[in-house]
Each structure stands twice: as C-alpha cells, then as structure tokens.
Amino acid sequence: MINHGDNASGPATADLKQKVSDDIRSVSDFASREATSASDKAKEAATDQKNVLAEKLGGVAQALEKVATELDSGDNRDIGKLTRNLGTNLRSASESIQDRSLSEIAGMAEDFGRKQPLAFLGIAAIAGLAASRFLTSSAPNSGVSGGRGNTVNSQLSPSRAPSTSVAPTSLTATEDRAHD
C-alpha cells in the first residue's frame, strides 16, 4: 500500500525546493555572464570609435599643418602661424586621446569643464550643432516634396486627411441678425 501522508511529501518538497533554487542560481549566473559580455562589447565598440575619432583628428591636424605651410609661403604668415598652432594642438589632442582609456578622457573633460566652463559650454554647443547638422544631412528623405505649393494631403489616407468642412454654428438666423 502506498502512503501519501506527510512522510512522503517531505523529501519531495525538499527536492523541489533544491531544484528551483538551482534553476534560479543558474539563470542568475547566465544573466550575469551575458550582462558582462554585453558591457565588454559596448566598451570595445566605444574604444574603437574613440580610436577612429583620434585618427580623424590626426588627419585634420595634418591638413591644417599643410595649409599653414602654404600660408607661410604667401602673404598670410600670421594666419599661417595660427593655423600651425591649431594643427599642432589638434595633433597633440589626437595622440592624447589615442593613448588614454575612456574613463581618463571623461575625467579630462570633467576637469576642463570645471576650469573653463564657458569654453566647455561653447565646445559643447558647437559639437551639438555639428551633430545635428550631420544627422539632418544623413537622414533619409521623408517622401514629402520640398517644392512650393505642394501639400501632404495627397499622401494621407482619406480617413487621416484633414477635414475641410465647416462646423455648424449654434446661432439661429434671428440671433445672427441681432448681432449685425
């Protein structure tokens, strides 16, 4: 005869609790490993982008130095000197970015923001403007014609088209005449 009393359910309940606990631990470990992996991939992508930015800055610095050489040979020696200084500083910044981690660069930006708040805000504004110009120039066309006199109504479905009907007023003819 099978006994289904309290004695038989004790070990089964303990086994079930242990299995649930093991499953929870396994899921938690998996989630932790995946989060670490995703974080590592994000850091790697950010580092790659940092290095690309440093290379681009180096290229701009080189171009400025070439322009400075041409300006020096002409009548614009003062502008050439300024351009050369700008190119040299940009090259220095490029090398500095290349050799540092992202956290060090963030610390440098924070220190600069504390020491030179107006310059920092100016640079941030210029960077924001450049980013918005880049994003708007690289955005796909929305399909709306840019010509004058064209309307969007032809692209809307009949149920979404703006209404051109006039709403009725609550004034009667006699009230309307009274206001005249």
Average pLDDT in the 123-134 region? 80
Neighbours of 96 (CB within 10 A): 14
Over residues 21-78, the pLDDT tens digits come to 999 999 999 999 999 999 888 888 888 888 888 888 888 889 888 988 888 888 888 8
Q: What are the tens digits of pLDDT across the range 29-42? A: 999 999 999 988 88
Q: What is the pLDDT of residue 7?
A: 54
Structure confidence by residue, pLDDT tens digits, 138-168: 767 655 544 444 444 444 444 444 545 454 5
Residues 89/30, Cβ–Cβ less than 8 Å: no
Residue whose C-alpha is closest to residue 96's, from 122, 58, 123: 58
- DSSP letter assigned to residue 172: -
* Mean confidence (pLDDT) of the chain: 76
Which pLDDT belongs to residue 156? 45
Tokens read off for 52: 């690309």
11 against 15, higher pLDDT: 15
143: left (phi over 0), alpha (psi -120 to 50) or beta: left
* Whether residue 4 has pLDDT greater than 80: no
Say if residue 3's pLDDT is above 90: no
**Residue 153 in contact with residue 161, Cβ under 8 Å?**
yes
Closest residue by Cα to residue 66 from 89, 88, 44, 92: 88
